[in-house]
Each structure stands twice: as structure tokens, then as C-alpha cells.
Amino acid sequence: MADPIRIVALLSGGGTTLQNLIDRIAAGTLNAQVVGAVSSRPDAVGVTRAERAGVPVRVVRAAPKRASFADEVWSAVRQFAPELVCLAGWLHLLVIPDDFKHKVLNIHPSLLPAFGGKGMYGHHVHEAVLNYGAKVSGCTVHFADDTYDTGPILVQRCVPVNDADTPDALAARVFEAECEAYPEAIRLIAAGRVAVQGRRVVVSG
């Protein structure tokens, strides 16, 4: 078996996405290693989840208007020498440096390009889906770029929107899809099957 791909997770909140990756790795269904986590909040529940799993954590307090914020984040990331960075509930826009181009993944709780952009995260997304009257939703794993939710798309999974759905009910269904989609995307990258051609992501084999 190939060596596990080295992942750093960026988080700002509860860390459920990170926990999913940790659980998949522990179950032997994802050949990866979370070598570190960077949190924008010292009190984020995700920090506790990471520490419980033995994942070292660096905290870079959120201050997007501080000129050095992004540099501090990437400096912390580089300390872990990752092959891939996974945004896991990270709520801050970061310019992707050249050495991490097409090495940063994000997961968004809708079928992009629908219901994406600044301010569209968590329950804001699910409320917007329901208010619009959409009949399907889902999740999108994409490469992060320098704006919100616009990078090349790698994996999407679709879920139905039911007439009786609340934002919480839809969120739970979408999260189940996220738990499958993120590991799938990581496996494809680890296998060397992914090439980015402009806006298109081509998966070989």
C-alpha cells in the first residue's frame, strides 16, 4: 500500500468534517494521515476533537483585516509539511500561495455554483435552498482559489429536498453526503488521478 497522504485541516468551529476524516482513517477506509490542524479560534470544538485524536494543533487567531493573517496561517500549515490542505469548516477567505495551488480542498454544502459565495455557509445555505424552492441539493468538493466557492469542482453528491424539510433536516442529509464526498476526493488525489485543466477537473482511470 502507498504511504498515506499527509493532510492538514483548517477549521474554525465544531470540527465535524475533521472528525469524519479521522474516523475514516481509523476505520481503514481512507489511506491518509492528518498530520496537523490549524484553527482560527482557540475555543473551537474542533481543536478538542483534533487533540483527542492526537493531532497537533496550531492556533492563528482570526483577524482577516490584519495584513499578516494569511501569512501566519500558511506559515503554520507549512510546519506540518502537508501534501494536501483540507478546509474543514474554515470561515475565512485566504489567498492560496503558489506552493499550494491545487493542493487546497474545500467542501461546500450545496451544488455549486448554486448557493455559494460570501456569507453562504452552514444553515445560511440550507435556508436559502429551502426558500428558493429547490428540489435537489447536495455538496461540492472543490479546489480552493482566491474567492469564495469558485474553484474547480472535483466531486459533487446530490440529495433530495423534501417538502417537509427544515434547515436542520436538510443539513443532516447533506452532511451524510459530505461524509462520503470528501474522502472520495482525497482518495482520487492520493491516487494521482486528478488533473486540473482550467476550470475543469479531469479524473483518469
Q: Residues 127-172: pLDDT tens digits? A: 999 999 999 999 999 999 999 999 999 999 999 999 999 999 999 9
pLDDT at 64: 60
Q: Where are the beta strands (DSSP E) in 103-198?
A: 104-108, 136-143, 153-160, 194-197
Is residue 125 a contact partner of residue 109, using CB atoms and an 8 Å limit?
yes
Catalytic annotation on 108? yes
Confidence bin at 65 (pLDDT 50/70/90): confident
Rounded Cα distance, 111 and 103, in Å: 21
Residue 118: partners with Cβ closer than 8 Å, 6 or more residues away: 93, 148
Annotated binding site for (6R)-10-formyltetrahydrofolate: which residue ranges?
A: 66, 106
**pLDDT > 90? residue 1:** no
Tallying the residues shown for the chain, one arrives at: 205
Rounded Cα distance, 113 and 105, in Å: 16
Annotated binding site: which residue ranges?
A: 66, 106
Is residue 31 a contact partner of residue 5, using CB atoms and an 8 Å limit?
yes
Which listed residue (92, 102, 108, 123) is catalytic?
A: 108
* pLDDT, the chain, mean: 96
Confidence bin at 2 (pLDDT 50/70/90): confident
* Signed CA dihedral, 86, 23, 91, 182: sign only: positive
HSE, CB side, 13 Å, CA atoms: give it for residue 140.
21
To the nearest whole percent, how much of the chain has pLDDT over 70?
Answer: 100
pLDDT at 67: 80
**Which residues make beta-bridge pairs with 104?**
85
pLDDT at 186: 98
Q: Residues 120-130: pLDDT tens digits? A: 999 999 999 99
Is residue 128 a contact partner of residue 135, using CB atoms and an 8 Å limit?
no
Q: Burial code of 33-43, b = ≥16 C-beta within 10 A, e = fewer?
A: bbbbbbbbbee
